[in-house]
């Protein structure tokens, strides 16, 4: 059920401070509860770190913390940071085995038999000193470099890819971890994630705290920037209160779809919708107000080189998807329901309707081409009250309303009560569900 629109959801230009802008955020990449922030201007004493020498060999076991960028192969410095093709970020997997070592990189075998590459520094003790940082914007000094990790030999010159697209998401000693948005977010059947590089703290200046309410009209933050921020900040521990603080109040609120898998009791949460002409963002919370799903609905453009209506998704922490539509997104229209009826299974469809009764047929969508539980039931069209129901279990079920629109004939081939296949044809009153006659053949239909 939707609630009324709370504000006008239109996009406005974001007045960016001149120069290279980066943002300091609290997010899932950070590993401790310490807070570190740099206020004001001026230089900071920096401890020069030596390049990490990897003494690993094939077969050694290492531990990788959560939030480490995962690569399909070694990335050279000739590759632009916004073209690194990050497949995702690590989740807690315990001890992993090293399969290969190449320079500052290690190849690991995951617990699910997957293979991936990460910079070896993320397996070192030094990487455990990452700290949280408050949300800030600031500029990098001219000529600053980016590093694969603190003290790495692999470096990049700061370029156009930083402007409006870079965010500091981590800190360790005298370094800041910088998240850089991919030039292309979605392509074919893949979704790419932001890269993570490092800058020296002494190269950062002009610190300004970022205002909350990213979707709000006064701030006017670009959708591409919000998309990057939500990718970094949101995780399974995020609450609806935090989302309201960071993103602002939603345009719409509505009941979510079923949050549980087939075979479990339905669980309905709440979905918030943020709408702009160039994007819709949906955030879903469970009954406890914790984030469980997000989805971006965006029109097709040169940064989303895929066919329209294509979905991408996947996360170890929470489900997120991106759905590519055509060149224009439909806006949600204001409406108010007369009544609302919540079914007991996941997918329900209107089978037939009269002036007084709605005949509903549904199932749990358990698997491709079939289901574990199906039912046919009737609702009072004026009040939404359930009048009667027939549970068909996982068997076949069909319903046909007669010409006079007073009765319905229902066929089922499974009896959930007896837990066996029994062909039955029942002729019921559409309003009261009273069985007028029933036919059960001695031999079941094929």
For the chain, the structural domain boundaries read 21-209, 233-325, 347-439
Which of 185-189, 202-206, 435-439 is modeled with the greatest confidence?
A: 435-439
**Is pLDDT of 295 > 80?**
yes
| Structure confidence at residue 36 (pLDDT) | 36
Q: What is the assigned CATH class of domain 347-439?
A: mainly beta
Looking at CATH, the fold of the domain delimited by 233-325 is given as Beta-lactamase Inhibitory Protein; Chain:B, domain 1 (3.30.1450)
Q: Do domains 233-325 and 347-439 have the same CATH topology?
A: no
Q: What is the largest CA-CA distance in the chain?
A: 91
The pLDDT, as a whole number, for residue 318 is: 59
CA distance 278 to 301: 10
Rounded Cα–Cα distance for residues 54 and 58 (Å): 12
Residue 350 CB-density burial (10 A; 0-12 exposed, 13-18 middle, 19+ buried): exposed
| The pair of three-digit structure tokens given for residue 60, joined into one six-digit string | 């050694």
pLDDT at 49: 37
The Cα–Cα gap between 204 and 171 comes to 12
Average confidence (pLDDT) over 35-44: 33
Is the pLDDT score of 22 beyond 60? no
pLDDT for residue 168: 83
Q: What is the pTM of this model?
A: 0.77
Secondary structure (3-state) at 23:
strand
Mean pLDDT is highest, among 109-123, 128-142, 291-305, for: 109-123
pLDDT in the model for residue 258: 85
Are 324 and 295 contacting, i.e. CB atoms less than 8 angstroms apart? no
Confidence of residue 444 (pLDDT cuts 50, 70, 90): low
Q: How far is CA 115 from CA 100, 188, 388, in A?
A: 10, 22, 54
d(CA 342, CA 286): 16
Tell me 161's DSSP state. Answer: G
* pLDDT tens-digit map of 228-283: 899 888 988 899 999 999 999 999 999 888 888 877 788 899 999 999 988 999 99
Q: Do 171 and 131 contact (CB within 8 A), yes or no?
A: yes
Count of other CB atoms within 10 angstroms of residue 183: 15
Q: Which residue has the higher pLDDT, 301 or 261?
A: 261
Instruction: Please provide residue 132's backbone torsions phi and psi, each rounded to the nearest 5 degrees.
Output: -75, 155
Please compute, for residue 189, the number of CA atoms within 13 A of its CA located in the half-sphere on the CB side: 0
Q: Band of the pLDDT at 7, cuts 50, 70, 90?
A: very low
20-34, 68-82, 199-213, 304-318 — most confident range: 68-82
DSSP 236-297: TT-BHHHHHHHH-S-SEEEEEEE-SPTTS---EEEEEEEEETTEEEEEEE-TTSBEEEEEEE
């Amino acid at each position: 059920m939707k609630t009324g629109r709370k504000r006008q959801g239109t996009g406005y230009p974001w007045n960016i401070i001149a120069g290279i802008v980066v943002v300091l955020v609290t997010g899932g990449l950070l590993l401790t509860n310490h807070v570190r922030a740099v206020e004001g201007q001026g230089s900071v004493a920096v401890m020069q770190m030596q390049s990490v020498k990897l003494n690993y060999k094939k077969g050694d076991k290492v531990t990788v913390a959560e939030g480490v960028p995962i690569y399909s192969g070694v990335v050279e410095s000739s590759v632009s940071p916004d073209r690194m093709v990050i497949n995702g970020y690590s989740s807690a997997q315990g001890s992993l085995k090293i399969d290969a070592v190449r320079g500052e990189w290690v190849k690991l075998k995951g617990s699910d038999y997957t293979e991936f590459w990460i910079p070896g520094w993320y397996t070192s003790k030094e990487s455990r000193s990452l700290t949280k940082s408050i949300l800030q914007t600031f500029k990098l000094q001219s000529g600053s470099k980016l590093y694969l990790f603190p003290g790495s030999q692999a470096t990049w010159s700061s370029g156009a890819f930083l402007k409006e697209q870079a965010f500091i998401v981590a800190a360790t000693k005298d370094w800041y971890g910088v998240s850089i948005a991919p030039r292309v977010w979605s392509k074919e059947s893949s979704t790419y994630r932001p890269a993570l590089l490092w800058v020296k703290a002494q190269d950062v200046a002009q610190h300004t705290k970022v205002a909350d309410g990213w979707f709000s009209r006064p701030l006017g933050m670009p959708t591409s920037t919000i998309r990057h921020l939500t990718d970094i900040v949101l995780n399974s521990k995020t609450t609806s209160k935090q989302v309201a603080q960071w993103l602002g109040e939603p345009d719409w609120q509505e009941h979510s779809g079923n949050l549980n898998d087939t075979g479990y009791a339905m669980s309905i949460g709440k979905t918030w919708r943020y709408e702009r002409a160039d994007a819709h963002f949906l955030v879903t919370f469970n009954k406890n107000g914790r984030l469980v799903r997000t989805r971006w609905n965006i029109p097709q453009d040169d940064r989303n080189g895929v066919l329209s209506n294509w979905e991408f998704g996947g996360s170890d922490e929470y489900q997120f998807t991106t759905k590519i539509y055509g060149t224009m997104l439909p806006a949600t229209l204001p409406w108010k329901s007369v009544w609302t009826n919540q079914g007991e299974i996941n997918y329900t469809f209107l089978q037939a309707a009269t002036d007084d009764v709605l005949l509903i047929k549904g199932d749990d969508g358990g698997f491709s081409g079939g289901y574990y539980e199906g039912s046919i039931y009737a609702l009072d069209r004026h009040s939404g009250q359930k009048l009667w129901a027939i549970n068909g279990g996982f068997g076949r079920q069909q319903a046909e309303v007669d010409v006079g629109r007073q009765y319905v004939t229902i066929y089922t081939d499974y009896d959930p009560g007896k837990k066996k296949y029994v062909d039955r044809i029942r002729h019921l009153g559409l309003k009261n569900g009273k069985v007028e006659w029933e036919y059960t053949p001695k031999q079941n239909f094929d």
